[in-house]
């Protein structure tokens, strides 16, 4: 009996010793893992700090690049404006100097006063176009009957018009847009056409419904019978401040395209030297954002798509 008790005691001692060893191993392993975890947390915190510093540096660099781009754009615009203003100011200064001469004749005085009026008008137009060019556009869309807008454009020119402005519009042609901005577009395009024809020729404004890239809209062609443009001039026609006329600011077509694009439309230009010019505008009838138009389709696709649980079952 004593041997049995002794045997059981020895077995229990062996088991206890084994458990103690295993416990100590677990303690050591846990301590090692704890130290590893602390080290990794420290590394993670360091990496997080590095990432935050890198993110800040990137944001700072992006801000500097954006600022540099803004300053470059402002510098370019300032250089263009200075170039456009310098000539009228030089002419005005010269005219004023001549007017100050006591021996100037009345005829010359009237000529110089006419020059002053022309150049101040030119500067006024430049300032006006610059404001239209620089200000953000706020488009208020309402249904607009094109025939009414174009009739008003033609009526504005009726008293001084020596050339024909012909409207080929279908009754009921309607676009959704800003009346004031669209009137500015057509005033500008018709004025350009008349100047290109030296106010002697024929301007045709033609409208039609058509589809572009799956979008239904209205196309408006403004066609003149002027001198047209060669390839070099045509390629630069939409560049800010580019003009072939002495009295032009070179911003008219730029502003027109900006207004058309703000309406979700597009402007195309075709011209050949000696064959006149055609400016084509396209205004989409549906001005809803493309993402909004696709939303119902995407929602239906998401509703019909199998869930992850369904896929696991398969």
Residues 28-50: pLDDT tens digits? 788 888 888 888 888 888 888 88
Q: Sign of the CA dihedral 107, 111, 113, 117?
A: positive
Q: What is the value of pTM for the model shown?
A: 0.57
Q: What pLDDT is recorded for position 293?
A: 45
The domain 142-293 having CATH identifier 3.40.50.300: the answer here is: no
The answer to whether domain 1-135 and domain 142-293 are alike in fold is no
In terms of Cα–Cα distance, which of 73, 118, 117, 77 is closest to 250?
77
In terms of Cα–Cα distance, which of 120, 126, 111, 121 is closest to 92?
120
**CA 47 and chain centroid, separation:** 39
DSSP state of 307: P
Q: How many helices (H) and strands (E) does the chain have?
A: 8, 7
Which of 3.40.190.10, 1.10.390.10, 1.10.287.130, 2.40.10.120 would CATH assign to domain 1-135? 1.10.287.130
- Where do the structural domains in the chain lie, given as residue ranges? 1-135, 142-293
117-156 pLDDT tens trace:
888 887 887 777 777 777 777 888 888 888 888 888 777 7
Q: What pLDDT is recorded for position 310?
A: 46
Q: What pLDDT is recorded for position 312?
A: 41
Residues of the chain scoring pLDDT < 50: 289-298, 301-302, 304-314
**What is the maximum alpha-carbon separation in the chain?**
151
The torsion defined by the Cα of 305, 309, 310 and 314, in degrees rounded to 10, comes to 130
Give 124-138 as a DSSP string: HHHHHHHHHHHSPP-
Q: What pLDDT is recorded for position 217?
A: 87
CA atoms within 13 A on the CB side of 15: 6
């Amino acid at each position: 009996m004593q041997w049995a008790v002794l045997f059981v005691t020895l077995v229990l001692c062996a088991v206890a010793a084994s458990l103690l060893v295993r416990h100590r191993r677990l303690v050591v392993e846990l301590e090692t893992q704890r130290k590893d975890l602390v080290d990794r947390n420290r590394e993670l915190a360091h990496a997080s700090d590095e990432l935050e510093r890198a993110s800040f540096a990137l944001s700072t660099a992006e801000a500097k690049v954006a600022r540099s781009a803004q300053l470059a754009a402002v510098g370019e615009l300032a250089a263009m404006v200075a170039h456009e203003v310098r000539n009228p100011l030089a002419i005005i200064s010269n005219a004023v100097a001549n007017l100050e001469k006591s021996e100037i004749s009345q005829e010359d005085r009237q000529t110089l006063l006419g020059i002053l009026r022309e150049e101040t008008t030119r500067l006024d137009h430049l300032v006006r176009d610059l404001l239209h060019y620089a200000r953000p556009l706020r488009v208020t869309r309402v249904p607009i009957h094109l025939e009414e807008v174009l009739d008003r454009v033609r009526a504005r020119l009726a008293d001084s018009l020596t050339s024909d402005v012909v409207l080929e519009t279908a009754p009921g042609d309607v676009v959704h847009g800003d009346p004031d901005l669209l009137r500015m577009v057509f005033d500008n395009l018709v004025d350009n056409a008349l100047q290109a024809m030296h106010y002697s020729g024929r301007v045709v404004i033609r409208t039609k419904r058509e589809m572009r890239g799956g979008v239904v809209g209205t196309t408006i062609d403004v066609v003149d019978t002027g001198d047209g443009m060669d390839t070099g001039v045509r390629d630069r026609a939409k560049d800010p401040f580019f003009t072939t006329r002495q009295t032009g600011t070179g911003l008219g077509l730029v502003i027109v395209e900006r207004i058309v694009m703000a309406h979700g439309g597009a402007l195309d230009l075709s011209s050949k030297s000696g064959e006149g010019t055609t400016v084509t505008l396209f205004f989409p009838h549906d001005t809803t954002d493309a993402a909004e138009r696709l939303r119902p389709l995407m929602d239906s696709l998401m509703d019909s798509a199998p869930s992850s649980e369904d896929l696991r079952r398969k």
